[in-house]
Structure 1
Amino acid sequence: MYPWTHAAFGYLLLVVLAVLLWRRVSRLELAAVVVATQIPDVVDKPLAWWLTVLPSGRSLAHSLVLAVPLSVLVLAVAWRRAHPEIGLAFALGYASHLLGDTYDALYYWRVEEFTFLLWPFAPAYPYDPSENLFEVVRAIELTGSVALQLGLAAVGGLVFLAHFLYAPWVRPTA
């Protein structure tokens, strides 16, 4: 998934849960979910592609070995500060990123691609492009997967606008 799709996916999950639970979403929850959706790529891509200290752009921060303890830590700190909903939003955003990176392999049941979730205990799946990030973005072709991701990002953007302009029942609180 692309960064904007990860953000839209995590955001939409948070809004859907808020609607189902009949509760408002705070701005800090929105920030937590969006930041958490970006952490795995912000950590792994530069360390793998530019500094070459990781074996793959899906290894350290994409691993449950880091994701679970980090999410538990953020949840514990948020709970201690009397805002567990922010910790839960963070955990949801992080989990949505990992789910977003596995949806294609899940759909086609290519279990060998899930190994990055257990790195360093399992090998990181070698999926990385050979070009740099700018070459990857420039080479994007409108395939079914890319169209799906663009559609999801567009829906996320529209829901975001509606969320702030027209939906007081989930409008962010301070």
Structure 2
Amino acid sequence: MDRAKPLEPVSSVMWPWGHVGAGYLVYTLLRRHTGERPAGAAVLALAVGTQFPDLVDKPLGWTVGLLPGGRSLAHSLLTTAVVAGLVLALARRVHHRMAGRAFLLGVVLHLLGDALYPALRGQTGEVSFLLWPVLPMPEPELAQRFTAHLGAIEPGWQFVFEFLLVTAAIVAWHDDGHPGPGALRHGAARSFVRLRTAVRNRCFCV
């Protein structure tokens, strides 16, 4: 009798929208467990964290060629440990510890998301990027170009799964009171006031 074949995802890694959807769901569940809801600045930091490894590795690996691939430096747990120390120190200095922790949670969840599909296929060698450069990078399944990966999007089970993640995250975000955009507007307004004050002071000095 033939064994059931493991699920074959279209891509071996999670797409950006899947990362942010999974990140928000995990974060809001953790906050609700403590009796609180996600805060604006922390949500923005979380969103950036869920994309951070790709924002570093994809341009430097695929476009510039400074890294050996799109899952190397920022996808390594070794690098993440260093980044964690720097981020937590900076967060304490600027009094945004919650945002710092949310950012790091997003980074860790990104790495777990990229390891999910290879694990489901039983291809443990495909997660060697987690210990790069101690372990070699896995061989890429697609050409290391943005267009090649975008062209590989198909409405398979992976697409549906990540669509459901995003949908659930949007519902949870709505239930949480839409945290994030308000903090962004507040930060932009505060920066504008500081800039205007600096310009006025400079004019008075002249």
TM-score of the pair, normalised by structure 1: 0.87
Describe how 1:93-132 pairs up with structure 2 within 5 A: 93-130=106-143, 132=145
Distance 2:121 2:15 in 1: 20
**Residue of structure 1 aligned with 2:22, choices 9, 20, 37:** 9
List alignment gaps of at least 5 residues for structure 1. Answer: 166-170
Q: Which residue of 2 aligns with 1:153?
A: 166
List alignment gaps of at least 5 residues for structure 2. Answer: 1-13, 184-206
Aligned partner of 1:15: which letter?
A: T
Distance 1:116 1:44 in 2: 11
Aligned partner of 2:51: which letter?
A: Q
Provide, for residues 44-74 of structure 1, a one-character-per-residue CA deviation record: whole Å limited to 9, x for no partner.
1112212222222100110112111102211
Q: Which residue of 2 aligns with 1:133?
A: 146
Q: Which residue of 2 aligns with 1:81?
A: 94
SS in 2 for 1:56: coil
**Residue of structure 1 aligned with 2:155, choices 125, 130, 142:** 142
**Residue of structure 1 aligned with 2:43, choices 30, 46, 55:** 30
**Residues 1:55 and 2:87 aligned together:** no
Which has the larger Rg?
2
Moved more, 70-79 or 89-98: 70-79
Are the aligned partners of 2:84 and 2:104 in contact in 1 as well (CA < 8 Å)?
yes
**Residues 1:90 and 2:103 aligned together:** yes
Moved more, 8-17 or 67-76: 67-76
Distance 1:82 1:139 in 2: 42
Which portions of structure 1, spanning 4 or more consecutive aligned residues, are displaced by more than 4 angstroms? 171-174
TM-score of the pair, normalised by structure 2: 0.75
Distance 1:4 1:130 in 2: 21
Aligned sequence identity (%):
36
SS in 2 for 1:164: coil
Distance 1:15 1:128 in 2: 33
Q: 1:64 to 1:27 in 2, by over 3 A?
A: same
